[in-house]
Structure 1
Amino acid sequence: MESGSRDAYGRLSYRGLIAWPERLKREEPLFRRVLEAAPSRRVLDLGCGTGEHARFLASLGFEPTGVDASPSQVEAARLADPGGRYVQGSLTALPGLVEPGFGAALCVGNTLPHLTEADDLRRCFTGLASRLLPGGRFLLQTLNYDRILDRGERTFPVMVRPGEEGAETVFLRLMTPQPDGRITFTPATLRWRPGTGAPLELVSAEEIQLRGWRRAEVEALLQESGFEVREVLGTMTGESWSPASPDLVVLAQI
């Protein structure tokens, strides 16, 4: 959700979508490998959401600053972490949001596709380059849209989590690929009460326009913005990238 548009994530319980302890345990070795080699322990968390990664990095001794365009996500992060630093604003305007001097940055999850134009992504990368120290590291992870677009995939796995009052919460995420590489993303939350007269109730649903960035496009824009691409992986646990990989993980340096 870009600055100035409606906050599409205000009604979606994204914090409950992810099993955070298990995810952070998987990601910790790569975080340490990238961030501990950075010229400073100050880290930008781009698209910080409700702040889980920022709080985890702080527990490892780093000094994170979270940035997110969604007012509701930033508010939730601040409530969960009153002593943390969270900034609300577009990733295309980083020079106006945070000062220079960071040793590293991360942008993980499905943040990058919310920048739907090449000029927007270029402004994000060039703005980030201006905020990093020489030798600064950048860890970028997104879904592998080479696989999604080439295969015409339409949905993510359905996720079920414990809910309230005997119900379960179902997270449904649908995708409609467009010919120009854009994707209409429809995340929905449902309340599931098996065995009742109305077993499935729609709690919320949104329609969000994304861009399915391919590996070649991401690498070209990073290099154009002053980054050197050092390594490309297919998962956050270190497997090599292939067109069938789950993720696109790019390790870059300024």
Structure 2
Amino acid sequence: MAGKTITSDLYQDEYEPSFVDKWDELIDWEGRAKGEGDFYPRILRDAGCTRVLDAATGTGYHAVQLAKAGFDVLAADGAAEMVSKTAENAARLGVDLPVQEADWRTLADDVPGEFDALLCLGNAFTHLFTEDERVRALEQFHKVLRPGGLVIIDQRNYDSILDEGFNTKHQYYYTGKGVDARPEEISDEAVRFRYQFPDGGVHHLTMYPLRQDYLTGLLADAGFRNIRRFGDFKEAYQHHEPDFVVQVGTA
């Protein structure tokens, strides 16, 4: 990464077809469901949300689960390969799920109508590498939400990675058996993750290491209020302890 200019569109190249085909193996839908429990449906129902935009759908895990739970879901992603895989997974599972390609930076022009909630999960927001793009994306998130709607963003605990080094329990997110996911390069500007699969295949993703307080500040600046944080799905947590942090704000 040293000396290289990293753009926010890099993920579109890194999510090559052979990697996308293995993404569900990395996640392990059954393991993910066990780890998360009813966390997202409960938050959405408690806020009276029915129409949900999964803005970083990946291969469709959360969109499918929420649709099965009775929510009206639109699945979107900026990577065409992920959009195709989501549509394939939904069809295979018999779930009626609209899917489309959408860029967060122009989201209000890309998706129809207003939503009660917007999810940006899977550490996806860290694909944005400039503050201007992060600000623009959050403004767009706010724009597509009805007043009082929820934004929900998760991220790896980069505070822990940057301050204490990488250590993960793999209890909640990347639970695939025999899959190793860990950073290969770490700096304040970028973290490059290496994903190795049981068949020996290796793939990489490059992320911007968002700190928790920084994202909370961006959310507040974009007009979100009542911002809550959860560490590995628990509201009470030590700052460096969880693998992942979820932030929930109200438009």
* TM-score when normalising by structure 1: 0.82
- 15, 18, 21: which is aligned to 1:11? 18
Using the alignment, how far apart are the partners of 2:196 and 2:26 within structure 1?
11
Using the alignment, how far apart are the partners of 2:58 and 2:16 within structure 1?
10
Same amino acid, percent of matched pairs: 24
Q: Where do residues 119-134 of structure 1 align in structure 2 (5 Å cutoff)?
A: 119-134=132-147
Distance 1:33 1:101, change over 3 A: same
C-alpha displacement at 1:238, in angstroms?
4.2
More moved, 152-161 vs 179-188: 152-161
Read off the aligned partner of 2:58 and give its amino acid letter.
G
Aligned residue pairs, count: 235
Using the alignment, how far apart are the partners of 2:222 and 2:40 within structure 1?
23
Q: In the alignment, does 2:129 pair up with 1:142?
A: no
Using the alignment, how far apart are the partners of 2:55 and 2:198 within structure 1?
28
Q: Which residue of 1 aligns with 2:32?
A: 23
* TM-score when normalising by structure 2: 0.83
- 207, 210, 213: which is aligned to 1:213? 210
Q: Which residue of 2 aligns with 1:236?
A: 233
C-alpha displacement at 1:179, in angstroms?
3.7
Q: Which residue of 2 aligns with 1:2?
A: 9
Read off the aligned partner of 1:44 and give its amino acid letter.
L
8 Å Cα contact 1:144/1:248 also seen in 2: yes
Q: In the alignment, does 2:177 pair up with 1:180?
A: no
Unaligned runs of 5+ in 2: 1-7
Q: Which residue of 2 aligns with 1:152?
A: 165
C-alpha displacement at 1:159, in angstroms?
6.5
Determine which structure has the larger helix proportion and give its number: 2
* Residue aligned with 2:218, SS: helix
Unaligned runs of 5+ in 1: 162-169, 192-201
Distance 1:31 1:5, change over 3 A: closer
* Residue aligned with 1:212, SS: coil
Distance 1:124 1:37, change over 3 A: same
Determine which structure has the larger strand proportion and give its number: 1
Q: In the alignment, does 2:52 pair up with 1:55?
A: no
Q: Please identify the structure whose Cα radius of gyration is greater.
A: 1
RMSD of Structure 2 on Structure 1 (CA): 2.5
More moved, 122-131 vs 15-24: 15-24
